[in-house]
């Protein structure tokens, strides 16, 4: 069973049952007013080359595989990675450039990280990402989709569970909206679980559909 660990902002650590570590969108901590991620990665995925998402040198092991804005399919050890090109804004990248959404399949669990997605997802992109067990989605707006747009995206992608990211937390020096805005818009059919830890163990057979897990930072 894979383990998902949130290191604040858009940085996630995924650990396979064989101990392989994937880190997505590492930040350096101090540039954001946050703690730097304490993790050593076998694989680092960068959704876009902005300072708060590409501090791979801080987390990568000496022989780590680093994929930056990499589209298409890759298989590294027991982990399958699919990169799908999207944009960081609503103007096809004219303002903030491109963004690569990653689907990571580990221990038969599909985890999708939307990076700094800045626009509505259409069915064409959605078809390249489905099925999705775990969706990691930005919800804080300003530089990404906001809370309402995140729910529209969830409707298109139909994940089993959702973990919000890229929202304001204590200390963050970016003007993002808090996660409460996202939770307040949740349809009544969705369950909300606020955890007192930054870690979630994913048991695919035991996943409760339509559940939001808010990880602690």
Q: What letter would DSSP give residue 65?
A: E
Q: Residue 102 and residue 77: Cα distance in Å, rounded?
A: 17
Q: Which tokens hold the place of 180?
A: 């409460």
Q: Write down the CATH number for the domain with range 3-214.
A: 3.60.15.10
**156-192 pLDDT per residue, tens:** 999 999 999 999 999 898 889 999 999 999 999 999 9
β-strand 199-201 against 3-6: which pairing, if any? antiparallel
| Backbone torsions φ then ψ of 86, nearest 5 degrees | -140, -160
Do 140 and 118 meet the contact criterion of CB atoms below 8 Å apart?
no
Bridge partners (DSSP) of residue 100 are 85
**129-161 pLDDT per residue, tens:** 999 999 999 999 988 999 999 999 999 999 999
Query: CA separation (Å) from 60 to 45, 88, 179, 215?
Result: 10, 25, 29, 23
Q: How is the chain split into domains, by residue range?
A: 3-214
């Amino acid at each position: 069973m894979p383990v998902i660990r949130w290191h604040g902002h858009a940085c996630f650590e995924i650990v396979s049952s064989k101990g392989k570590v994937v880190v997505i969108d590492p930040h350096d901590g101090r540039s954001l007013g946050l703690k730097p991620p304490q993790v050593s990665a076998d694989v680092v995925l960068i959704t876009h080359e902005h300072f708060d998402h590409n501090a791979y040198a801080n987390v990568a092991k000496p022989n780590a595989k680093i994929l930056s804005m990499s589209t298409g399919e890759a298989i590294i050890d027991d982990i399958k990675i699919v990169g799908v090109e999207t944009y960081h804004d609503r103007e096809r990248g004219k303002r903030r450039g491109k963004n690569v959404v990653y689907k990571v399949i580990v221990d038969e669990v599909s985890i999708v990280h939307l990076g700094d997605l800045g626009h509505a997802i259409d069915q064409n992109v959605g078809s390249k990402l489905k099925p999705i067990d775990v969706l990691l989605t930005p919800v804080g707006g300003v530089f990404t989709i906001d809370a309402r747009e995140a729910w529209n995206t969830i409707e298109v992608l139909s994940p089993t569970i959702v973990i919000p990211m890229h929202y304001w937390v204590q200390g963050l020096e970016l003007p993002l909206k808090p996660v409460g805005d996202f939770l307040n818009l949740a349809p009544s059919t969705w369950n909300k679980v606020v955890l007192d830890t930054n870690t979630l163990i994913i048991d695919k057979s035991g996943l409760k559909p339509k559940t939001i897990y808010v990880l602690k930072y």
